[in-house]
Structures are given as structure tokens and as C-alpha cells.
Structure 1
């Protein structure tokens, strides 16, 4: 009997350890108190349909296209009217985590690394094509953005990088060949001194990318972490420039980034006790 009790106890402890280190839910890691180095300029509380907003991109200065991580639908949201103008179905229910617009087409990233190309997504009859990559569900792909200067998409891995235990890769999907390149375009060094204020027992949780976008003016690469809210900025050549720690009271779960053409930064947060929102953020 004692052996059975001991086995059950060990099993429970193993499950708790697994959940603590690997499950995708927000909690605060130990870190120092910090000053807010940003100002929230505007806030949009989102409709219930977008409670789990997970990716977005600007169509124009007034309208955004966005996805939420349970439905295969692109939502057109108007910042002025604060309403959903249109819904465009592209697939079945799934864990959709990244969104990017490339001219007249849209791309949606599922967490298992599959990319959905939605041709002429605002037209009457959008055509959907699926592109499989070497990224798998265990890697948990989350971020997606267009890098039109290099004719590619950038795809960020949240959990375990397929090639390294010491970095989190941001991989390039070539828009001509429609293939994901094996060598990362950027690699986030999990031992980088820039993370010295982030205290965690598991190095893989030092930075868990939830979105990636390129600043339209500087070319800098912006990466959010939704699990332990933060914003990392890389230079165009991949060097770490700045890490902004975000207060969870204002950034409950930062899942999306979008830039207006003038460089204004917008960050979306999934809902919790409060509605999901989009924040216009000015960094210091």
C-alpha cells in the first residue's frame, strides 16, 4: 500500500512540475520591481468575438484585420467605429496565433507551423492554400509578420526551438519558393545579458515570443512575450537593443503587434476578467 501511495505522490508531483514548466498560461515570474518605460495613448476594448485576439495587422489607418486563436476567421475591425465590419472565413477551428498582410493577400499561422495563404482576402471569393513547414506543435509557432523588403515572412517559435536549446529562432518563409528556411533569420540568445532582470527556473521561459513585427521606419524587429509580459527590440541585423518589461495590470496577455505606416505602435491583449483590448503605446 505504501508503495502505491508513494507512486501516486510521485505521479502528482511530476504532473505539477510539467504544468509549471511547460503549460501556456500567464503567471508572474520573479523579477525586480521596474518603472514603466512607456505610455498608453489610447485603448480600445474589443467585442466578445475577439476576446482571444492573437494576431493583427493594419489594412489602413482606420481598419485592422485580426484573428483570434480558436476560429478560422479573419475579422475586419474599425478603430473609429469600434465595431467588427466583416468576417472572412478561411479554415476550421484551430489554434491560430499569427497574422500578416502581404499586399492583397493574408497569411495566418497555426501553432503547429502550418501557414494559411488567403489570396485576395478582401475579395468576394478568397482562395486558401495551406503550406506545411518543419515547425511542429511541440515548438509552438506564435509570431508572424511580413518582411516585404526581403520578400519573406518571419515566423517566431514560442516554446522549444527545433534546432537549439539556447536560442529561440525567428525563421524566414520565402514568398517565392513558399518554403521555410532551415537557418533562422534571427536567433534570440536566451543567455543574453539583456534578460538579467528576468528571473526564471527554466531558461526556455526567459523569452517566449507571442508575436513579431518589423518597425516600418527603423527596420527594428519587435517581439512580444505574452506569458511574462515584455517587449524585446532587435536591430535589423539581429542585435538586442532594448527590453521593455510590461505591467500585467495593463498588458494582461500581449499577443499581437501592429504598426501604422507612421510607426505608431499598437499591442493587443487577450481578455481575462476585463475585455480584450488594443493599446496604442508610446515607448520612452
Structure 2
């Protein structure tokens, strides 16, 4: 009798697993795995425990990186040469912080509900903080922020459902003069673009789930990472899809941050998992 009960429980569990597998969306398992990387990792920095969930970063200078992690209202200054955190700058309460951009002496931090924090003169002893509401809300899940100095704005990327359409993922401009988020996307990722032909998923909204955005200072191209299903999308300065790089999960467990040196050196940050969070210097072939 006991053996029958055990067998019935086992069959029930297997049936439940089968139902979950065939009814839910698992983009990780459906992503094409048999590909040769079109990039190389040139250098790696393992992060200390304080930066286990690094979610955004930008360069202070050639060797110091400003970084945030997605739970604390703190900007961390990390030195790539000494491999140490030099300073912690408090700017707000605990929250889901997902993007960081430096504009001259000011730092801007993005929260996932679309709120942008301006940390005026962020390296001063007591920086002033101003908060800006936008039309992006928690259901849209903002996950990406960078400075577009040429157009005097910030770029904000939407990860989940775009406020305008289910067919795109918008990248919106936050005007640094008016401190308003413009209603029309500066760039729109077409989720039906043929460039995603090797991305296999049942849910169109998971074709591209931006986790960060930045602009290559040498080419003007727009770089966008997907942290859930590791990939890197490059748009031309005009917004046309140019190149899609699939990223190996063993190297890029969860790519969440993008940063460029002024000379074009390219860096990606990854949140930690079984290994520490890290920052990688990447060379694209």
C-alpha cells in the first residue's frame, strides 16, 4: 500500500513539472546555445560582498567606477587599480535601484518605478538630492540609465511592458534642462526585428528585456544588455538594429551594467550568483 502511495506522489510531481514546463515561458532554456562567442573577456574584477548585486555603473575617471547595487540608496566608488571600494555615498532609502549616470559633477540614479534621483555634486561631503517622477511606473520596470551628452539628456530603458506598445521596448529621453521624460521614445526596439531570429521564446515580451543602456563614445552606437537572457544589442546612432551578440551564461550570469571609458574601452557588470558579482572588460570581435 505504501509503495502505491509513493508511486502516486511521484507521478503527480512529474505531471506537475510537465505542466509547468509546457505552459510557462523559460527563455533561458530556449535560447540558442550552440554558438561561438563573438567577443572576448580581456579582464575581470570580482566585486566585494557589498556589491554583490551590482546593477548600474559609470566611470568617474579612467580607474574609478561609480556603482550601485539594487537594494541600497548608496553610490559606491570602486577603484579598478586597487580593487577596493574607496567611498560610499548615501543618497536615499533602500529601494530597487537599476541605473546610474554621471553628468559632470552630478550623479543620476534610476529606480525601477521610473523615479530619477539627481545627486548634485555627488562627490561633495553632503550632496543635495532631488527626486523626479516620470510616467514610467513599476509595472513597466525601468532598468537602464545613461547620459546622452550630445543631446543634453539621459536615456532610460524599459525592461518589461512598454507604456506605448507591446511590439516595442522603448528607450526614453529625460531632458536635463526641463527635467522631464519625453513621451516619444528616442529609440524603439522592434521585438519582431529579424535580428532576434536566434532568440527562441514563447512570449514576445521576453525577446529583449533591457537591463542597461549606454552610448559608445567613439561611434555613437547605442548598446543595450539583456540580463535575463544574456545578450547585447547594438543600435546605430539612428536607431537601426545593427548587431546582436549572444552572451555565454557561464561568463555573463546576469549582465546589468554597461560603461565606457572615453577611449571606447567597454565594460559589463554582472550580478553575483554562486560566484561573486564582477566587472568585465570586453572586446567585441
Normalising by structure 2, we get a TM-score of 0.91
Distance 1:131 1:180, change over 3 A: same
- Distance in 2 (alpha carbons) for counterparts of 1:125 and 1:146: 23
SS in 2 for 1:81: coil
* Equivalence for 2:196: 195
What is the CA-CA distance between 1:170 and the residue it aligns to? 0.1
* Equivalence for 2:213: 212
- What does 1:55-204 align with in structure 2 at a 5 Å threshold? 55-204=56-205
Q: Which entry has the higher C-alpha Rg, 1 or 2?
A: 2
- Which digits, 9 at most, give the CA deviation of each residue in 1:242-282, with x for residues without a partner? 00000000000000000011101000000000000000000
Q: Does 1:247 align with 2:248?
A: yes
* Equivalence for 2:233: 232
Distance 1:21 1:180, change over 3 A: farther
Would the aligned equivalents of 1:40 and 1:282 in 2 still touch at CA under 8 Å?
yes
What is the CA-CA distance between 1:77 and the residue it aligns to? 0.1
Would the aligned equivalents of 1:44 and 1:79 in 2 still touch at CA under 8 Å?
yes
Give the unaligned 5+ runs of structure 2.
1-15
* Equivalence for 1:3: none
- Distance in 2 (alpha carbons) for counterparts of 1:110 and 1:20: 28
- Distance in 2 (alpha carbons) for counterparts of 1:178 and 1:30: 39
- Distance in 1 (alpha carbons) for counterparts of 2:158 and 2:281: 25
Please report the RMSD computed on the Cα atoms of aligned residues, expressed in angstroms. Answer: 1.7
- Distance in 2 (alpha carbons) for counterparts of 1:97 and 1:186: 19
Give the unaligned 5+ runs of structure 1.
1-11
What is the CA-CA distance between 1:32 and the residue it aligns to? 4.9
Would the aligned equivalents of 2:102 and 2:108 in 1 still touch at CA under 8 Å?
yes
SS in 1 for 2:85: strand
Structure 1: which 4+ aligned runs deviate by more than 6 Å?
none
What is the CA-CA distance between 1:31 and the residue it aligns to? 2.1
What is the CA-CA distance between 1:184 and the residue it aligns to? 0.2
Would the aligned equivalents of 1:98 and 1:143 in 2 still touch at CA under 8 Å?
yes
- Distance in 1 (alpha carbons) for counterparts of 2:178 and 2:20: 43
- Distance in 1 (alpha carbons) for counterparts of 2:56 and 2:181: 20
Would the aligned equivalents of 1:223 and 1:232 in 2 still touch at CA under 8 Å?
yes
Normalising by structure 1, we get a TM-score of 0.91
SS in 1 for 2:173: strand
- Which digits, 9 at most, give the CA deviation of each residue in 1:41-66, with x for residues without a partner? 00000000000000000010110000
